[in-house]
C-alpha cells in the first residue's frame, strides 16, 4: 500500500515518535510510507493554508510507480490542514484517516476538519460524543508500540525506579513521594528546577497562563464548554493557590537525591528502560493530580515500556487494565501510599525473578495485541484496506 503520512511540525523529540513507531513498523511490513512534513518542505512555519498547499502539490505529482497514494494518514488539526485539502485528497481517490492525539484536553482542535476524513482515530474514549458531534466517524483505539524498535534488553536491571522525561506536575509529585520514602529514583531528563528555569515562565500555572495569554485565552474559551476542560482549569487554579504557601509535596523534592541522566534518543529508549527495575507511569491529565480523583489518560509510554519488556508501575485505570493484566503484565497504584509500597516491594532482590516474569508477559501481550499493525488492521477492516 502507498501511504502518505502528513504531519506538520517544527521538529523536536515530541514528534520523532511518528518515525520510530508507526512509520518504521509499516515499512517493515512492506508498505511504502512517504512522510510529509510541510514545515520541512517550506523551510518555515506557516498557516494551515500554506501547509495544505504542500499536501495538494504532493498528491497532484506522480509518485514512484503509482498514479496516486492509497491512503492519506494524517495527525492534523484545524491549525495544520484546511477542510478543502482533505476533500481534494478524497476526490483523487485517497482514503483519508486522521489520528487525533489530544481529544481529552483539546477536542476542539479538530472541530472544522474531523467530518472531512473518512475516519478519525481517537486514543481516548471520554470525549467521543464531542468528536462525533462535529459530524465525524470515529474509531477509539489506544496507542501501540513498534516491536522492532522497542525490544527487551539484556543483562540485569539496576534496582531503581524511574522514567524518561521531564519532572514536572504529577511526575514531580510522585518522584517526591518515592524520594522522600528513601527509594532509589532515576530520571532520564531535566529536573523541575532546570525545566522551569529554562522555560522562563515559572512553575505557577496562573503565572504561566498570564505569560502566554493568547494561547491560554483560546484554551479557556474552548475548555469551559466541556467537563474535562473545566476540570483542567479548576485544577490549575487550585494548584496555583496551593503552590503559594509551599504546600505541594513536589515543592519539597530534593533533587540532589535523584539520579538525573540525559534523555536517550528513541533508538536508545528500550536500553534505558531495561536498565531500570521499575518504570514509573504518571497518567494524570493537566494538573488534576491535585484532586482526590484525577482525570487519567493512557500515554504512549505505557505501550513502549511493555513492548520493551519493562515492568511499569502506573496509575490504576480501568481502561488500561483491559490491555494489561494487573500484577501479571503491569503494576498499578491507586494512591501515593500504594505507589511507595509497591515500588519498595518490587525493588527487593527477592522479587527479581517475578519482575522478569512480569516483563516477559508484558512483551508477549504487546506483541500479540498492541503493535501498530494490529491498530491499522482494525482501521483496514472498517475502510476495506489491507495492512
pLDDT in tens, 124-172: 999 999 999 999 999 999 999 999 999 999 888 999 999 999 888 999 9
Pair 131, 223 in one domain: no
Average pLDDT score over residue span 54-62: 91
**Could you tell me if 40 and 186 lie in one domain?**
no
Contact 363, 309 (CB under 8 A): yes
Residue 158 phi/psi, 5° resolution? Answer: -70, 145
Task: Give the domain range for residue 231.
Answer: 158-368
**246 φψ region: left (φ > 0), alpha (ψ -120 to 50), beta (else):** left
Using DSSP's 3-state secondary structure scheme, residue 321 falls into helix
Q: Which of 15-19, 37-41, 331-335 has the lowest mean pLDDT?
A: 15-19
* pLDDT tier for residue 252 given thresholds of 50, 70 and 90: confident
280 and 169 in one domain?
yes
The answer to whether residues 197 and 128 belong to one domain is no
Q: Which residues of 261-275 are buried (b: 16+ CB within 10 A; e: fewer)?
A: eebeebeebbebbbb
For the segment 309-323, the average pLDDT, to the nearest whole number, is 98
Same structural domain, 118 and 165: no
Buried residues in 348-369 as b, exposed as e (16+ CB within 10 A): eeebeeebbebbebbbebbeee
Q: What is the pLDDT of residue 63?
A: 58
For residues 229 and 136, state if they share a domain. no
Q: Do the beta carbons of residue 29 and residue 147 sit within 8 Å?
A: no
CATH (domain of 344): 3.40.50.2000
Report whether 274 contacts 153 (CB < 8 A).
yes
Give the whole-angstrom CA distance, residue 273 versus residue 275. 5
Cα–Cα–Cα angle for 133, 138, 140, rounded to 5 degrees: 120
Q: Are 125 and 355 in contact (CB under 8 A)?
A: no
Is residue 167 located within the same domain as residue 227? Answer: yes
Share of the chain above pLDDT 70, in %: 96
* pLDDT tens for each residue of 162-178: 999 988 899 999 999 99
Grid coordinates representing 144 are: 501501540
Residue 153 lies in a domain: no
Q: What local confidence, expressed as pLDDT, does residue 316 receive?
A: 98
Work out the average pLDDT over 343-354. Answer: 97
Q: The CATH number of the domain where 85 resides is what?
A: 3.40.50.2300
Average pLDDT (171-189) is 95
Q: Is the pLDDT of residue 16 over 50?
A: yes
What does the DSSP assignment read for 185-253? EEEES--HHHHHHHHSS-S-HHHHHHHTHHHHHHHHHHHTTSHHHHHHHHHHHHHHHHHTTT--GGGG-
Distance, in Å, from the CA atom of 90 to the CA atom of 261, rounded to the nearest integer, reads: 47
Q: For the ranges 195-199, 232-236, 246-250, 348-352, which has the lowest average pLDDT?
A: 195-199
For the chain, how many structural domains are there in total? Answer: 2
Indicate whether 151 belongs to any domain: no
Residues 194 and 299 in one domain: yes
| Mean pLDDT along residues 244-250 | 83
Give yes or no: residues 243 and 378 share one domain: no
Residue identified by cell 536491571 is: 157
332 and 222 belong to one structural domain: yes
Q: Are 319 and 128 in contact (CB under 8 A)?
A: no
Q: Are 248 and 214 in contact (CB under 8 A)?
A: no
Cβ-contact 385, 96 below 8 angstroms? no
Claim to verify: residue 119 and residue 180 sit in the same structural domain: no
Whether 149 maps to a domain, the answer reads: no
pLDDT tens string 79-103: 999 999 999 999 999 999 999 988 9
Residues 6+ apart with CB under 8 A from 362: 305, 306, 307, 309, 310, 311, 312, 324, 329, 330
What share of the chain has pLDDT > 90, as a percent?
A: 78
Asked if residue 78 has pLDDT above 50, the reply is yes
pTM: 0.94
328 and 182 in a single domain? The answer is yes
Amino acid at each position: 500500500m502507498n501511504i502518505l503520512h502528513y504531519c506538520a511540525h517544527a521538529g523536536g523529540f515530541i514528534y520523532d515518535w511518528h518515525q520510530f513507531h508507526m512509520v518504521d513498523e509499516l515499512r517493515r511490513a512492506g508498505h511504502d510510507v512517504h512522510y510529509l512534513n510541510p514545515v520541512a518542505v517550506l523551510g518555515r512555519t506557516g498557516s494551515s493554508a500554506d501547509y495544505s498547499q504542500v499536501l495538494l502539490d504532493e498528491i497532484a505529482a506522480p509518485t514512484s510507480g503509482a498514479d496516486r497514494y492509497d491512503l492519506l494518514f494524517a495527525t492534523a488539526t484545524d491549525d495544520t490542514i484546511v477542510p478543502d485539502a482533505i476533500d481534494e485528497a478524497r476526490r483523487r481517490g485517497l482514503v483519508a484517516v486522521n489520528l487525533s492525539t489530544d481529544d481529552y484536553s483539546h477536542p476542539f482542535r479538530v472541530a472544522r476538519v474531523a467530518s472531512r476524513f473518512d475516519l478519525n482515530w481517537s486514543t481516548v474514549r471520554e470525549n467521543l460524543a464531542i468528536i462525533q458531534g462535529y459530524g465525524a466517524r470515529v474509531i477509539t483505539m489506544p496507542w501501540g508500540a513498534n516491536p522492532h524498535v522497542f525490544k527487551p534488553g539484556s543483562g540485569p536491571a539496576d534496582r531503581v525506579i524511574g522514567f524518561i522525561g521531564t519532572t514536572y506536575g504529577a511526575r514531580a509529585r510522585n518522584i517526591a513521594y518515592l524520594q522522600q520514602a528513601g527509594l532509589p529514583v532515576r530520571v532520564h531528563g531535566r529536573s523541575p528546577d532546570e525545566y522551569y528555569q529554562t522555560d522562563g515562565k515559572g512553575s505557577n500555572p496562573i503565572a504561566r497562563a498570564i505569560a502566554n495569554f493568547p494561547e491560554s485565552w483560546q484554551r479557556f474559551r474552548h475548555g469551559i464548554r466541556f467537563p474535562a476542560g473545566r476540570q483542567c482549569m479548576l485544577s490549575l487554579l487550585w494548584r496555583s493557590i496551593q503552590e503559594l504557601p509551599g504546600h505541594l509535596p513536589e515543592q519539597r523534592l530534593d533533587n540532589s537525591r535523584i539520579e538525573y541522566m540525559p534523555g536517550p534518543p528513541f533508538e536508545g529508549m528500550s536500553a534505558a528502560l531495561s536498565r531500570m527495575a521499575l518504570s514509573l507511569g504518571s497518567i494524570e491529565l493537566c494538573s488534576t493530580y491535585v484532586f482526590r480523583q484525577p482525570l487519567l489518560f493512557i500515554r504512549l509510554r505505557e505501550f513502549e515500556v511493555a513492548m520493551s519488556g519493562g515492568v511499569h508501575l502506573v496509575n490504576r485505570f480501568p481502561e488500561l487494565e483491559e490491555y494489561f493484566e494487573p500484577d501479571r503484565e503491569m503494576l498499578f497504584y491507586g494512591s501515593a501510599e500504594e505507589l511507595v509500597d509497591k515500588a519498595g516491594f518490587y525493588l527487593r532482590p527477592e522479587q527479581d525473578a517475578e519482575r522478569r516474569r512480569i516483563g516477559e508477559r508484558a512483551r508477549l501481550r504487546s506483541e500479540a495485541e498492541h503493535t501498530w499493525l494490529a491498530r491499522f488492521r482494525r482501521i483496514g477492516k472498517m475502510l476495506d484496506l489491507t495492512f
